[in-house]
Each structure stands twice: as structure tokens, then as C-alpha cells.
Amino acid sequence: MGSLPKDCEHLLKNMVGDEIAMNPLDLGEFRRQEQMVVDFLVNYYKNVEKYPVLSQVEPGYLSKCLPSSAPEDEEPLEAILDDVHRYIVPGLTHWQSPTFFAYFQTNTSTAAILGEMLCAGFSVAGFNWVSSPAATELESLVMDWLGKMLDLPRPFLFSGNGGGVIEGNTTEAMICTLIAARERVLRRSGHDSITKLVVYGSDQTHCSFQKAARVVGIDPRNIRALKTTQSTLFGLSPDLLRKAIRLDIDGGLIPLYLCTTVGTTSVTAVDPLEPLCKVASEFGMWVHVDAAYAGSSCICPEYRKFLNGVEFADSFSFNAHKWLLTSLDCCCLWVKDPNALVKSLSTDPEYLKNEATESKQVVDYKDWQLSLSRRFRALKLWLVLRIYGVRNLRSHIRNDCRLAKLFEELVVKDGRFEVVFPRNFALVCFRIRPSAVTGMANGQAMEDEDREAWKLNEVNKLNARLLHAINASGRVFITHTEVGGIYVLRFAVGAILVRERHVIMAWTVVQEHANSLLSMSGSNTHA
């Protein structure tokens, strides 16, 4: 081999020098530093119960603790982890704390963390089959596994000509299915008809539905949030839906999409799927079933009844990252007609053309989602299903429901409180009952109706103060909702480390602050 020109030799020496100076994947350091991070997380989980579950920092705190610009030179991981402990951990609301009873939990687990490590380690971008065949095929396999665990109708499975995909979140699942529904209608009616499209949900449907509808171009005036009531347990009424659809048709509008919910965010209400789907089918609408929280429970035979009627829907999704021990992000979406997604979301640039795609024998998941690139999310779900197995996953869900039932029983035993909504899963909705607040509106010159409204407002404010006091203690974190004008405290069980003692302690905290508030208001404090 001949000698290189002098200018090339100079460039090569500089390149070699750069390689020696900077090795972003030093395997020896990787092993050492990985162990340091694992040890850090183990210690975090050992001590997580000691931290205030709701972060107590003030807005802007971190900019006062850390430099305003990135370091010019490298820093040792030891120093960085020390800063994580000193500055980052205090600014966390500890979602994995055993006294986190807010929102709906987003679980993780040993299996999920290991799966994330493998996903990050391989760092593949599995946008089409050829970009990493294993990423595509494992996702298809795992989605059929999970569909069978949920006893989904065969048309939702790849084995039944449907199929599943892992999206990032519920909003993405809704956007993708809304686009598929939109394009199916506009191909017939013309794209100028987009301003006439109408979508339907209830006033209990998650707010992500409204966001998704706006993103796909639905006129905000054509997004229906139909009223629910206590008489239907806050589920959407099929009769009300039919009336709304007919009214829109009479007004020259086009019914497009119905979003039903199994386990609403506020109170875990369940929409009656079968009659709603039958109404929607009369008008050729796409029906999506959102079971973001409650879907995980349906791997248990005793909870599968809540999905009765899903066979009449077009799509179904739930978040494995909420209750199935799989860390964010992992929203599982199934559709009966994958071609509806592909026709609406497919892109086919020359630089992505390949024989496998042209053969029509493979799945290219880039055409099932919003973005092109995608993470190997199936790895963590696969590890969760294999490391724990169906039996243990069912046991995990049943135990959370058992602990929620325990809390519910404690609420019922204290006559000052009431359970506001029947418990379906592992969420208890409760409040200080109006009768516990004596002497309200005495001496006030009011009509009976005004008196009741005034009293409801005062009870709502008292429960809001109770929530603030509980969360300010740092010992427990719960959240609230308002349904039918009633301010409700939500107690959601689902943290991976929660045990019976944590539930009992949480109830003790509730009682302590209720005693103080009721005493100050001169109300009845006897349990």
C-alpha cells in the first residue's frame, strides 16, 4: 500500500487523537458507571418512603442550585449523582412512593427497568421492518399475547387480520384513530367537508380527546361532551347520544367518531359499550374504546365484564404504563382495520423503499403512528410479561383492588365521611359528608334551594381545605375531582411498594386533618 499524502497523514493523526480522547461507549466505564446508577436507584427505593411524597420546592428552585451553562470539560459521574441526590430528588414528586395515591399511578418494576436498559442499549429506530426486524416482529407478537390476555375479540389480533401497536400515550392513540376515521369519511364526502365533521364523548371523557380532535382539524364547536348524571353512574347515555347525532345531522353536520371510556379519570365510570356502539353503527361512525387506566384490570376474568361490547368497536387502547408494571411510555392500541391507519398515515419516500415493504408481507409501524422513528418499547413489555407471568400480574391488580376496598371500608366506618361513587377498580371517591357539618346556614334568610346550594358550596370548600392540608403534610398525596357539582377526594391505590400499613396510615392522616378542620368549624367531630 502506498504512502498517504502529507496533508492526509495530518488529518488522520488528528482523527485518531480525537478517538482516543473521546470514547462515548467505553465498555469498562459502562460497567462501572452502570453499577453506580443501579446502586443509586436501589438506595432511592429503599428510602423513597422517607421523602415528602409531594415535592415541597418553590418554582424556579433549580436554577438557583445549578450552573447557568453546560460544563466545558467532563465531570465524574460521582459528582453528578451527588447533585441528583441533593437537587433533583427534592424536586421530584415521588410517583413510586407507597403513599402516592394521586391521579392514576404510572408503574415501573424491575422487569420494566431492565427492558428500558436493553431498549436504550440497542438504541434502534424501528420505523419499518427492515430497520430492525426483531423490533417489529416482537411488538406484533407481544400485542397478540396481550390481546389474548384481555380476551379481545379475534378481529383485533394480527391472527384475525387486525393488529396492535405500542403508542406513546392515549392522545397519540386517539389522534391516529381520529385521522383514520376522518380520512375514511372525507374520501367519500370530499376534504371540504372537514368543517362539518362531529365527534362525540361524554363530559367524563378524558381531556386528551378534545386535544386530539383539535389536532386533527375538528372544529372545536363540533366536539360534543354529552352530559352524564348520577342516574347513569356517569356513563354516557345511548339515548342522549342518538338525540345529539340526529340533531347534528338535521343541522347538516357529519357524525364521525365516538370515544367511549372504560374507567373514567374522575370516578372510573364505565360507558355501556354495546348499546353505544350500536347507536354509532347506525350512522357509520368510528368507535374507539379508551380504557387507559382500567384496561389492565381486564386481564382478570372478574373484571373482563367491563369490556363487554368491545367486539362492536373499531379500536381499543389502554396504558400498560398505568397499572401493568410497565414504565412510561407504553400505550397499547388495537384496530380491526390496520389498513385504515396505513392509508391515512403512510409515507413512502425513495430512501425508505425496500424489498420487504414492497412484498406486503411485513408490518411497517411508521405507518401506524404519528412520528417516523420509534423506540423498541416492546422489549420492556415482553420482559414484564415473561418475568412475572399472567398469574402474578393478575395477583398484583387484585391486591391493589383489595387495598382500595380496605380504604373504602375505613371511610364507611366513619360516619362523617361518605363514598361518593361506587368503587369499580382501585379508586375510592370520598368526601366529608354534608351532615357532618352542623349549623350551616343557620340564621341565614334564604330560600330552600339557595340554602342547599350555599351548603353544597361550603361543604366543597371544606373538602378542598382537607385535601390541601393532607398534601401539605408531605406524608400522603391524593388528588380531587368535581362531578355533578360535588367536590370529591380521589384515593387511587396502585403504587408498586404500597402495603396495607400505608393505606391505614393514609386514612389516619385524613382523619387527623378532618378532626382539626371540623373542630375549627364547630361541626360534629364524632366518628
Quick one: how far is CA 418 from the chain centroid? Answer: 28
Strand partners, 56: none
Residue 526: what pLDDT? 46
Give the 3-state secondary structure of 464-517. HHHHHHHHHCCCCECEEEEECCEEEEEEECCCCCCCHHHHHHHHHHHHHHHHHH
For position 527, what pLDDT does the model report?
45
Window from 297-301, 448-452, 456-460 with minimum mean pLDDT: 448-452
C-alpha closest to that of 277 among 296, 262, 297, 293: 262
How far apart (Å, rounded) are the C-alpha atoms in residues 151 and 491? Answer: 29
> Is residue 334 within 8 Å of 385, Cβ to Cβ?
no
- Pick the residue with more confidence: 484 or 228? 228
**Cis before 348 (ω within 30):** no
How far is Cα 270 from Cα 260, in angstroms, rounded to an integer? 8
- Looking at residue 438, the DSSP 8-state letter turns out to be T
Please write the tens of the pLDDT for every residue from 48-96: 999 999 999 999 999 999 999 999 989 999 999 999 999 999 999 999 9
Domains of the chain, first to last: 125-375 (3.40.640.10), 387-520 (3.90.1150.10)
Query: What is d(CA 328, CA 319) in angstroms, rounded to the nearest whole number?
Result: 9
10 has pLDDT over 80: no
> How far from the centroid of its chain's Cα atoms is residue 269's Cα?
16
pTM of the entire structure?
0.91
Q: How many residues does the chain have?
A: 527
- pLDDT, one tens digit per residue, over 297-352 is 999 999 999 999 999 999 999 999 999 999 999 999 999 999 999 999 998 888 98
Distance CA 471, CA 478 (A): 7
* Alpha carbon distance 98, 497 (integer Å): 5
Mean pLDDT of all residues belonging to the chain:
91
Quote the pLDDT of residue 525.
46
Q: What sign results for the dihedral spanned by CA atoms 277, 279, 284, 288? A: negative
| pLDDT single digits (tens) 394-449 | 999 999 999 999 999 999 999 999 999 999 999 999 999 988 876 554 545 556 66
H or E element, residue 224: strand 223-226
270: which DSSP letter?
A: B
